[in-house]
Amino acid sequence: MASAESVAQGNSSAGPESSGDLTPEQILAGYRLMVRARATDERCLSLQRQGRIGFYAPLMGQEAAQVGCALAVRPEDWMFPAYRELAVALTRGASLRSILDQLLGNSADLTKGRQMPNHFGFADQHFVTASSPIGTQITQAVGTAMAAQRRKDPIVTVAFFGDGATSSNDFHAGLNFAGVFRTPTIFFCQNNQWAISLPREKQTRSKTLAEKAEAYGFSGVVVDGTDLSVVYRAVRDARARAVAGDGPTLIEAQVYRLGPHSTSDDPKRYRTDAEVAQWKERDPLVRLRGELITAKLLDEATDQKIWDEARAEVVAVFAEAEKVPPMAPDSIFDDVFARPTPRLEEERHEAAGHSQSLGGPHG
C-alpha cells in the first residue's frame, strides 16, 4: 500500500502541458468548493448516525481530486460517477438542496425515491445517476464517448472509480474498447488505498494502477490527488488530447479515504490509527489552506468565515428539505410504462385498497 510519503515523491507527470493553469483567484474558489463539500460531508455523516438519512458514502480526503478534475472539464462534458463524487456534483453546479432531497428520498427527490441515498444524478449538469455495481459506469462512459465521437461532438466523458474497480470486468472491457477505438474518455481513478477493507497491495501486483493503461494502448499517469492544481493540470491536458483525437487517458489520483467506506463500515477493524494519522497530515484542505495563507490570498478570519457560512448553509438547506413530505406510496406505479398496462392499473388499485385498510394517507 502506498504511503503518504510515496505519494509526495511519486510520479506526478501529466504529460505535455498546455497553457492555462488555475489563477490564484480560481484556486481560492476551488478551496471554497472543497470546504463546501467537506462541510456537507461532515453533516451528512452525522445525520445518518442520527437516523435522519438512511445511508451515506463519505468523501473526506478526496476533495482536491474531485474539485480539481471537475474544474478542468467543460459544462458540455459528461460525468459518470461512482457513489462518492459529491464534490464533483457541487462543482458542476448541482444544487445542495437537490442532493439533500435525494439523500432523504422525499417527494422533491429528482430520482423519486428510486435510488439508494448518495446515488444522485443531474441531467442539466451532465452528471449521470450513480449506481452501486462496481465499474458499470466505466463502460457507459466509453459508449457515450464513442457516440459523441461518431457525431463529431467535441466533448469528453469522465469515468470516476476507485482502486477496487480496477479489478472489475467493466474496467478491462471499458479500457480495452476505449483503446481500440481511441474514444475521448478520461478514466479518473481515485486510488484511496482501500477497496472497503481490501488494501491496495492485495488488489494488484502492478506497481501503479495507471500503468495498466499501457496494455490497452494509451497513456496512464499518476498524480498527487491531494494537490488541487496538479490534478487540474493532469485532467486539463488529458481533455486536450482527447478532443484532439489522441484517445483516452487513465489518471490515477493518489488520495486517502479518511473516513469509512460508507456508513455501514467500521474502518477501525482493518486499518490502524497510525496510518490514518499519517495521511491526515496530507489532508487536502489543510494543505491548500496553508498554501493560500502563505500566498496571502487567505487569512485566518476569512477562512473561519468560509467554514461558518458553509456549515450554516448545510444546516439551513437540510432543515428545509426535511420538511418536505415523503413520496406517495402509489408513486411506485408512475413512470413504469409510457402507457400503463391493465395489470399495472390493477396493482395500483389493489395497493390503494390495502393502504386505506391500514389507515394510510394515500388512496
Catalytic residue among 233, 241, 257, 282: 257
Catalytic residue among 52, 270, 349, 362: 270
Q: Is 261 a catalytic residue?
A: yes
Q: Is 83 a catalytic residue?
A: no
Q: Is 348 a catalytic residue?
A: no
Closest to 86 in 3D by CA, of 56, 53, 126? 56
Catalytic residue among 233, 236, 261, 282: 261
**Which residues are designated catalytic?**
257, 261, 270
